[in-house]
C-alpha cells in the first residue's frame, strides 16, 4: 500500500548552521499510529513542522497522500491536523470562536453539529463559551486537539500531546486516539513518555541528532532488541558469583540476595535449564524466580546510547 506520508532525503539546516534533520527517509502507513521517539533536540518537531508547512525544508521531498507539500500545499495541508507541543492558543477568545476560526482556515463551511460532537467527545462542551485563558492547562490541551480535528483531517500529528496533563486525561486521550485510528485517521505521535508509545503505537521510529535510526513494528522492535531477564531470589545470600557459574551471563544483586540472568528470548536455547541444573549441582537454592522483558524505554535508551 502506498504510504500516506513519504519523506525522501529530507534535510533541514537552520540559519544558525544547526543541522536539525540530516537526509531523513521515512514512510508513514495509512491508518497506523506511528510513534516518533527521540531525545530533546533530536529533530522530531522540525520533522513535523516541515510536513505541516511551518518550517521550510532545505533539501528533500515530502508528499502527503500523494501531494507535494510545496508545489501542492493546499491539498497536502488540508489532510493534516496538528496538535503542537506548545499551548499556543488565542487566549482572549472563547472556545467556540476559535473552533469556527480553525475550521474556516481549512476551507470548510461552518458545521455546528460537528463542532458540538468534537467538544462533547473532549468534555469541552460546557466550556464552549469560556475564554481560553480561563481554562486549565489540561483543558487548553484538549482545545488544541479539538481545533486540530475540526476540519476532519485524515492525518493527525500529536506533538507531545500529553505533556503536563494528569494521568486521567492522558488515558482519555489514549482512548480518543484509538477511536480516531479506528475511524481511519493516521496518527503520528511524538512523546517523551515511552510508555505512551508502547501503549499506543503500531510502529516506532527513533530519531536522534536529525537522523532516523530505527523504524520498526513495535512488537518486532521489542522482540528484536528486547532482552529478557530471569531473577532468582536466593535462599542464602552470596558474596560473589561462584567460579563454577562463570559460563553463564549472571549478575549478583547488590545485597547478594538475587542472581540476575539475561538471555535472548528469540534464541532456541535460552540456557535457563542448564543454569538451573548447575545451580542445583552447586547447592545454590532459590526460593523464588520471575522473568521480565525490556520495556520500550530500555530499548530506546540503548538505541540512543549506541548512536552517541
Partner 1 sequence: MNIHAVRAIYVFEMARAWRTLMQSIATPILSTSLYFVVFGAAIGSRMGEIDGISYASFIIPGLLMLSLLSESISNASFGIYFPKFSGTIYEILSAPVSPLEIVLGYVGAAASKSVILGLLILITARLFVDYEIAHPLWMIGFLLLTAITFSLFGFVIGLWADDFQKLQIIPMMVVMPLTFLGGAFYSINMLPPFWQTITLFNPVVYLISGFRWSFYGVADVNVVISVGMICFFMLLCLAAIGWIFKTGYRLKS
Question: Least CB distance from residue 54 to partner 1, whole Å?
Answer: 5
Least Cβ distance, residue 247 to partner 1 (angstroms): 56
241: left (phi over 0), alpha (psi -120 to 50) or beta: beta
Binding mask 134-153 for partner 1 (x = CB under 8 A): -------------x------
Residue placing its CB nearer to partner 1 in the complex, 90 or 272? 90
Question: Cβ–Cβ contacts within 10 Å for residue 100, how many?
Answer: 17
**Count of residues near partner 1 by CB under 8 A:** 35
Which one, 54 or 219, has the nearer CB to partner 1? 54
Residue 60 interacts with partner 1 (CB under 8 A): yes or no:
no
> Do 138 and 166 touch, CB atoms closer than 8 A?
yes
Beta carbon nearer to partner 1, 127 or 147: 147
- Residue closest to 158 by CA, chosen among 132, 116, 183, 186: 186
**289-to-16, 92, 230, 265 alpha-carbon distances in Å:** 55, 59, 7, 16
**Residue 248 per-residue DSSP state:** S
Is residue 196 within 8 Å of 162, Cβ to Cβ? Answer: yes
- 97 scored as a contact of partner 1 (CB under 8 A): yes
- Which helix H or strand E contains 272, and what residues bound it? helix 272-281
Using rule CB under 8 A, residue 88 touches partner 1: yes
Please say which residue, 109 or 184, places its beta carbon nearer to partner 1: 109
Interface with partner 1 (CB under 8 A), residue from 6, 11, 23, 100: 100
d(CA 208, CA 259): 34
Q: C-alpha grid cell for residue 230?
A: 530471569
What is the smallest separation between the CB atom of 100 and partner 1, expressed in angstroms? 7
159 and 85 Cβ atoms separated by less than 8 Å: yes
- The least distance separating partner 1 from the CB of residue 63, rounded to whole angstroms, comes to 15
Which span (30-38, 49-57, 269-277, 286-294) binds partner 1, by CB under 8 A? Answer: 49-57
- Residue 144 vs 232, nearer CB to partner 1: 144
Cα–Cα distance between 252 and 242 in angstroms, integer?
Answer: 10
| Residue window 161-200: x/- pattern of binding to partner 1, with contact defined by CB under 8 A | ----------------------------------------
Coil, helix or strand at residue 62: strand
* Chain positions contacting partner 1, by CB under 8 A: 14-15, 52-56, 73-78, 80, 82, 84, 86, 88-93, 97, 100-109, 147
Amino acid at each position: 500500500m502506498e504510504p500516506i506520508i513519504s519523506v525522501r532525503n529530507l534535510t533541514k539546516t537552520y540559519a544558525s548552521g544547526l543541522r536539525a534533520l540530516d537526509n531523513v527517509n521515512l514512510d508513514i502507513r495509512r491508518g497506523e499510529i506511528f510513534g516518533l521517539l527521540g531525545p530533546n533536540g533530536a529533530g522530531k518537531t522540525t520533522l513535523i513542522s516541515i510536513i505541516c508547512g511551518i518550517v521550510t525544508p532545505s533539501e528533500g521531498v515530502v508528499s502527503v497522500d500523494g501531494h507535494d507539500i510545496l508545489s501542492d500545499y493546499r491539498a497536502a495541508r488540508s489532510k493534516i491536523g496538528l496538535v503542537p507541543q506548545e499551548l499556543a492558543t488565542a487566549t482572549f477568545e472563547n472556545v467556540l470562536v476559535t473552533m469556527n476560526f480553525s475550521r474556516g482556515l481549512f476551507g470548510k463551511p461552518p458545521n455546528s453539529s460537528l463542532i458540538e460532537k468534537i467538544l462533547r467527545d473532549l468534555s469541552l462542551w460546557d466550556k464552549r463559551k469560556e475564554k481560553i485563558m480561563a481554562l486549565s492547562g489540561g483543558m487548553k490541551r484538549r482545545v488544541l486537539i479539538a481545533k486540530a480535528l475540526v476540519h476532519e483531517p485524515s492525518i493527525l500529528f500529536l506533538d507531545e500531546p500529553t505533556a503536563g496533563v494528569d494521568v486521567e486525561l492522558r488515558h482519555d486521550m489514549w482512548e480518543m486516539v484509538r477511536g480516531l485510528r479506528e475511524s481511519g485517521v493516521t496518527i503520528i505521535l511524538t512523546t517523551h513518555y515511552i510508555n505512551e508509545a508502547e501503549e499506543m503505537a503500531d510502529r516506532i521510529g527513533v530519531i536522534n541528532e536529525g537522523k532516523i535510526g530505527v523504524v520498526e513494528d513495535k512488537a518486532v522492535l521489542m522482540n528484536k532488541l528486547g532482552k529478557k531477564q530471569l531473577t532468582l531470589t536466593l535462599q542464602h545470600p552470596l558474596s560473589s558469583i561462584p567460579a563454577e557459574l562463570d559460563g553463564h551471563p549472571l549478575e549478583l544483586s547488590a545485597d547478594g540476595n538475587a542472581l540476575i540472568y539475561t538471555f535472548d528470548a528469540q534464541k532456541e536455547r535460552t540456557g535457563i535449564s542448564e543454569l538451573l541444573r548447575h545451580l542445583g549441582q552447586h547447592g545454590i537454592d532459590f526460593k523464588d524466580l520471575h522473568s521480565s522483558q525490556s520495556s520500550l524505554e530500555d530499548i530506546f535508551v540503548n538505541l540512543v546510547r549506541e548512536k552517541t
